[in-house]
Amino acid sequence: SRTVTYHAEGYVAEISKNHLYRGMDMSEILNFTPGTSSLNGLTAYGESISKVYLNGRELKMGKNELLEYLKTIKGEDVKKMEVIIASGVEEDAESAGKSILKISTVNPETGGVLMVGGSAGIRKYSHIYLGMVNVDWRINEKWGMYLKSSIAEASDKNGTAMETHYYYTDVRRISESTQNTDRNNYSGGLGIVYEPDKKNRFIMDGSFIRTPTSMYGDSYLRQLQGTENIDFNKGKLANDRTFDRLDFSLIYTHTFNSKSQLEVKVDRLENKIDLSEWKDYLYYDDSTNNYQTQNAEENLLYTLGVDYNQSFKSLNGKLSAGVKAAWLTNKNDLDYAVSQNGIADDRLSYVDDYKYTENIYALYAKYNFSVKPFSFTIGTRMEYSDISPKSFINSERNRDNHYWDFFPQLSIGYSLNAQKGHNMSLGYGKGIRRPSMADLNPLVRQTDDYNFRMGNPSLSSSHRHNYSLTTTWFNKYILRVNYGHSDNLIRGIGRNEGNVIYHMMVNGGKSSSVSVYASAPVTLGKWGNLSLNVWYSHSKNEYEDDCKYSNSLSWGVSGMFRLPMGINMTVNYSQSLPDKSLYTEMI
């Protein structure tokens, strides 16, 4: 209670001032700070943490790699950690309402840390091995560097079995499939820190990731009418895929004085993806089909951001403002070939040469201030989007999109009883979900004699409104209720026109959800501590006359026990009950 300070958007935990954390790493600490957990991925107040910042730079890693990296950061090296429950207007609008973690470590004058580690996870049908090396070193007063590198190898085998009964008939379909996947991950990064004086700091950061993956499997489908076989097929499928990413960023920070600071960020991100695969099928009448896909994709993203922060004595206020621009280019080449009984089928085969560009320009301003016992956050963000999907195969369906959006933010915190640690906060934020580049692709392709599949370049974005109530009792017991509503969501539909079915994405869906999160720490005296967490969600999804409800429930407990000889033992357990939703009738 003496090391956590709550505000309208979350809280700040002074890690270095809490002796409990000194023998833990950051992945363990997250299981004992209010509302956070690393049991099933990184979560805050029951929701996934979307971004993690370390000393101002975003850690751009995969989920497993990020969790392993946090294990190399020890509690005695962490100064403070800020948990933002719902990100505000300073982040891009697609991240609005998602949780963010900001970690600040102690800055040694010289020296640093070298961490070498590894982990292994073995289950009945899968395994993963990972090795990591991390270096964080302060050379002198002006220069510092950090280096990270990891190698991971994983393999798993899974299968599915499903039986479908068709209404108003005695026809049923039985399908089974198995899949074997081998994945490797090679990643590394190098950063250089240069501080010519106390007012200026430069961080140059470069990283790469290479992930080759191979998959092979079998499938079997049987269709019966009563007890009689009326159709079946056997299939074999395989793919070899690679993902390569190169990222370079430069962060410049200028501190005018103790109350004002300017930060400039420049980033270049490039990735190349190979999604090639093939499938072979043998049918009931001894005919065969072969499907081969060659798919190469390239993405190039440039971002430029400028942020300014100014503190004011009056009202304990702080102004944050900034501008950001992002330029994305995607190029996708696809060659899809089908052959029946060894003969090429030109009717179902197709090629696609698709280029997608997305330019987003943003301007934001936010003001935090407090009038005891209240604290306030008021902000707004304005974004201009310029989106251009271009197919060189179906060029007549190309269409550009240009639009403005405004995203307000409001948070109010109230200290019910400062001495006892009772706090309450209300929050509202607005976010956006833009259609994916694949949904916008205007390509029209025939999948069989009766079905066509096409993208929809006329799709528009949807918005989500988030409302939250968060209460904290005795500085440690948490209860949070969140309500979200989205309209104009994108849904996939099929329309029958003259015995031909057109499958495409359209706007018009609606979604609403209510989630409840509760957390309670338990002190076991000299024996240690426990942390209990429960999360429940109820959602409703609608499109025209179709309406579905679903529910999910999960809970977990983390324990830290003090053993003789100064040894600490941590124990984690979590469980997610199966999601339950209304039965769907397909006719």
- Work out the end-to-end distance of the chain between its first and last CA atoms, rounded to an integer number of angstroms: 58
Please write the tens of the pLDDT for every residue from 429-446.
999 999 998 899 988 888
pLDDT at 395: 86
The pTM of the whole model exceeds 0.75: yes
Sign of CA dihedral 81, 200, 69, 43: positive
Q: Strand, helix or coil at 489?
A: strand
Q: Are 515 and 481 in contact (CB under 8 A)?
A: yes
CA-nearest of 517, 434, 403, 321 to 95 is 434
Element housing 397 (H / E): none
Q: How far apart are CA 241 and CA 225, in angstroms?
A: 39
Tokens 């991390």 -> residue: 134
Q: What is the DSSP letter of 286?
A: S
Q: How far apart are CA 472 and CA 298, in angstroms?
A: 47
* Tokens encoding 319: 């102004």
How does pLDDT run along the chain (587 residues), one tens digit per residue? 578 888 778 889 999 888 878 778 898 899 888 888 887 788 898 888 989 998 888 888 777 778 878 887 888 888 999 999 888 899 899 888 889 999 998 766 667 778 788 888 888 889 989 888 888 888 888 899 988 888 989 999 998 888 888 877 888 999 999 999 999 989 888 999 999 998 999 999 999 999 999 999 999 999 999 888 888 889 999 998 999 999 999 999 999 998 999 999 999 999 999 988 999 999 888 899 999 999 999 999 999 999 999 999 877 899 999 999 999 999 999 999 999 998 998 888 888 899 999 999 999 999 999 888 898 999 999 999 999 999 888 888 889 999 999 999 999 989 898 888 898 999 999 999 999 988 999 888 887 777 888 889 999 999 999 999 999 998 889 999 999 999 999 988 888 877 788 888 999 999 999 999 999 988 888 888 888 989 999 999 998 888 888 888 988 888 888 888 878 787 888 888 877 666 554 44
